[in-house]
Amino acid sequence: MIERAYTLAEAMGIAVWCEDEAGPYQTVPYPGASCQPEGEPLRQPHEYFQEGTAKWITLFHPATGQLRVKGTPSTRNAILHPWLETELTAILAELPAPTKSLAPQTNRARWESWREGLSRQVTLCADLSRLRRLLVMDHLTGHKSPEWLVWCFQRGSLPLFIPLGGRWLNMAESIHRIIQLRALAGQYPQDVATIIAWLEATAVGWTRHPTPFVWAGKRQTRRHRARERRLHRLAGSGAYSTRPIQPGQATV
């Protein structure tokens, strides 16, 4: 379902955003490369004080590379949900307005099509607004609170929860690693506020020149390998045959 969202939803006029929380990041020296004069390597202290931890919340749009983040000492629902509601409302206002109206039955069928095959389904609102956005999220209890789900449904947003052990399905995981390395590698932040400032500043730099992400997950790789086993490459061009051609075999 999530692979289908990454590959088909944008073409249907439905935006796909990934949400995730990263951390905790401690006030410790972080390993990383640095540019130093020869014979004078950067040295990090072997003794340090842990002055708390920092986390950050992410909304990532793979199709454009847009990134929205918030650094925070905690990601409790009291902090997470208000920030998500503010950012998602702003994102919804920026989406292009639908050019065609949909009958209520057709609109509900669209909502239901993104829930097919799920063993457990939450109850949708009786009166659904037009489906405008899919949210790829972790399978956490706070993400499934009734108040949060109703808020999403009323604004045309449908959360898609990744299965347990399926973090690789959330492309926000990749942007986390990129930003973390750029912000913290080789650094020694000594307070939580510094960590948050570096992460948010690095995210701003990314947003100025974003890079779109294209889905090519593990299942797609396995399917590609399976096709390669069924097809046989022919030398000289990009042609394939569905059966091997033996040496000396007539091809007429």
- Tens of pLDDT, residue by residue over 19-31, are 999 989 998 888 8
Query: What percent of the chain stands above pLDDT 90?
Result: 37
Evaluate whether residue 17 is within a structural domain. Answer: yes
Evaluate whether residue 226 is within a structural domain. Answer: no
Question: With contact defined as beta carbons under 8 Å apart, do 136 and 5 qualify?
Answer: yes
Label residue 81 exposed, middle or buried (CB < 10 Å: 0-12, 13-18, 19+). middle
DSSP 120-177: S-PPPPSSPPPP-EEEEE---GGGG-HHHHHHHHHTTEEEEEPPTT-GGG-THHHHHH
d(CA 45, CA 28): 9
Evaluate whether residue 232 is within a structural domain. Answer: no
* Confidence category of residue 240, pLDDT binned at 50, 70, 90: low
d(CA 181, CA 199): 10
Tally the domains of the chain. Answer: 1
d(CA 184, CA 15): 31
pLDDT digits (tens, 9 = 90+) for 59-89: 999 999 999 999 999 888 889 999 999 999 9
Q: What is the model's pLDDT at position 87?
A: 95
- Mean per-residue pLDDT for 218-224? 63
Closest CA to 88 of 22, 26, 13, 148: 148
Question: With contact defined as beta carbons under 8 Å apart, do 241 and 231 qualify?
Answer: yes
- Reply yes or no on whether the pLDDT at 250 is more than 50: no
- Mean per-residue pLDDT for 122-140? 87
Evaluate whether residue 134 is within a structural domain. Answer: yes
Evaluate whether residue 73 is within a structural domain. Answer: yes
Q: Which CATH number is 84's domain given? A: 3.30.420.10
Domain that holds residue 179: 2-208
Evaluate whether residue 243 is within a structural domain. Answer: no
